[in-house]
């Protein structure tokens, strides 16, 4: 195996000393012991510049999250440890955060007064909707997996630049909103439509209001399929960090297509070419390449559906168990727009496999709960690996698959370590 079993440190790095530093962390809403980790201190720069470079309001909001690990604070990015994914659906306080710029002022205020969403381009009737108008469309509530395309990036060798996600750049919340296809039906998509692009209200880290942070999208066929314009998350208005007042939720595709803080949906007659649509962003080689190989930009393809994957949410890696006694192992599995057909676990490095009890998805696009009983024969060190197989027969690989320059689409089996003791 190319990566060690999942094992998060139990504590943060040594606390920063001195009253000035403690005061700065306190103003960020972070404890001294956990503040250094939560801020993601950069050894290349001083702690002072890192603390005060962050937007304090954003930091305070993130500090209210439950146990997330900060990967970056400019822009804010944080992942969920796998043992905090053990519930059927991801509570808002535990959902990962992936930002590309600064959270817009409107979202931080929580006031949608004056907000509108424009739908234009290759449509017969351009629309401008406020939140009340958006809510007049039939409402859907669906549990949808959103996963960062770079989830698992930390395991690629040679390494790839970017947030070093382990396993926690994924969540499955319940999203409420309007079907995008209903809105587009009112606008009347023309025969020239090829792609739907989004623009958000988030602002560039440089502070330049003319710079677009990120503008990606999906082919028009996907836009007219199962995409939601969400204004609720887990039964409440969208939080600031998750796209208030409205965002896209695109089932089965990388999270970068689920644009937040929407202000415009542009129906285009070509593949969208906005910021972070161009190669190599969210693209992988069109053919297998050797690790570390230079890949020509024209030889890269846009990531669409996400691969089959699973996570072990319990027990927590490092847990002590008793040899000879059954232990429940559980987690979730998902695969782009497909269903999961089977999940298996092994405790002997793949020599034998145990079939898991697999629950159906609440709805298409949601992850599926699995459980299994394992018993180890004697005291010692054990690893549990989980392997999901989807409805097309695709199965998780044992090792990190398909090296690519940006470290996308790692769906290697999740592993945890257990210590067995005699009864």
**Every domain of the chain and the residues it spans:** 22-84, 106-302, 308-421
Indicate the length of the chain as a whole number: 423
Question: Does residue 107 contact residue 209 with C-beta atoms inside 8 Å?
Answer: no
Res 177: pLDDT: 98
Q: Considering the chain, what percentage of its residues have pLDDT values greater than 70?
A: 87
C-alpha distances in angstroms, 32 versus 17, 37, 48, 384? 9, 10, 14, 35
CATH fold of 106-302 = Sulfite Oxidase; Chain A, domain 2 (3.90.420)
**CA 309/CA 397 separation, integer angstroms:** 9
**CA 295/CA 380 separation, integer angstroms:** 44
Segment among 4-13, 202-211, 384-393, 398-407 with least mean pLDDT: 4-13
CATH architecture, domain 308-421: Sandwich (2.60)
Question: Does residue 195 contact residue 156 with C-beta atoms inside 8 Å?
Answer: no
Give the list of residues 6+ apart from residue 215 with CB closer than 8 angstroms, or none.
197, 198, 199, 200, 259, 272, 274, 275, 276, 277
Do 308-421 and 106-302 have the same topology in CATH?
no
Q: Average pLDDT of 108-134? A: 97
Burial class (CB in 10 A: 0-12, 13-18, 19+), 403: buried
> In 10 A of CB 302, how many CB atoms?
17
- Tens digits of per-residue pLDDT, 372-391? 999 999 999 999 999 999 99
Q: Average pLDDT of 93-99? A: 98
**CA 160/CA 157 separation, integer angstroms:** 8
- Tens digits of per-residue pLDDT, 25-51? 333 333 333 332 222 222 223 332 333
Res 9: pLDDT: 34
CA torsion sign, 248 to 71 to 386 to 394? Answer: positive
pTM for this prediction: 0.87
Band (pLDDT 50/70/90 cuts) for residue 411 is: very high
């Amino acid at each position: 195996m190319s990566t060690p079993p999942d094992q998060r440190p139990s504590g943060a790095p040594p606390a920063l000393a001195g009253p000035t530093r403690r005061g700065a962390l306190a103003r960020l809403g972070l404890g001294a012991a956990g503040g250094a980790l939560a801020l993601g201190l950069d050894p290349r720069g001083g702690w002072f510049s890192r603390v005060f470079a962050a937007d304090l309001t954003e930091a305070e909001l993130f500090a209210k999250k439950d146990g997330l690990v900060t990967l970056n604070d400019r822009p804010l990015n944080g992942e969920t440890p796998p043992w905090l994914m053990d519930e059927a659906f991801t509570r808002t306080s535990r959902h990962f955060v992936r930002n590309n710029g600064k959270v817009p002022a409107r979202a931080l205020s929580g006031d949608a007064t004056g907000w509108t969403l424009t739908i234009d381009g290759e449509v017969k009737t351009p629309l401008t909707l406020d939140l009340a108008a958006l809510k007049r469309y039939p409402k859907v509530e669906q549990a949808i997996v959103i996963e960062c395309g770079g989830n698992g990036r930390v395991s690629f060798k040679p390494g790839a630049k970017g947030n070093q996600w382990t396993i926690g750049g994924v969540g499955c919340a319940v999203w409420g909103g309007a079907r995008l296809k209903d809105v587009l039906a009112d606008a009347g998509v023309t025969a020239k439509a090829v792609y739907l692009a989004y623009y958000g209200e988030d602002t560039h880290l440089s502070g330049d209001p003319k710079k677009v942070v990120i503008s990606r999208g999906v082919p028009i066929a996907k836009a007219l399929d199962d995409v939601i314009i969400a204004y609720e998350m887990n039964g409440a208005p969208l939080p600031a960090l998750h796209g208030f007042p409205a965002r896209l939720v695109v089932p089965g595709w990388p999270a970068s297509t689920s644009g937040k803080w929407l202000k415009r949906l542009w129906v285009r007659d070509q593949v969208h070419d906005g910021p972070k649509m161009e190669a190599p962003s969210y693209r992988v080689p069109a053919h297998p390449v050797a690790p570390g190989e230079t890949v020509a930009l024209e030889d890269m393809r846009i990531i669409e559906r996400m691969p089959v994957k699973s996570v072990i949410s319990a027990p927590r890696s490092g847990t002590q168990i008793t040899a000879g006694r059954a232990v429940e192992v559980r987690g979730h599995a998902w695969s782009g727009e497909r269903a999961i057909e089977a999940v298996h676990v092994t405790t002997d490095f793949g020599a034998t496999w145990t079939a898991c009890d697999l629950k159906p998805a609440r709805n298409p696009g949601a992850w599926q709960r699995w459980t299994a009983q394992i018993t180890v024969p004697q005291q010692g060190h054990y690893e549990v690996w989980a392997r999901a197989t989807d409805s097309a027969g695709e199965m998780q690989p044992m090792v990190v698959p398909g090296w690519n320059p940006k470290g996308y689409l790692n769906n290697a089996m999740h592993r945890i370590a257990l210590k067995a003791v005699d009864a």
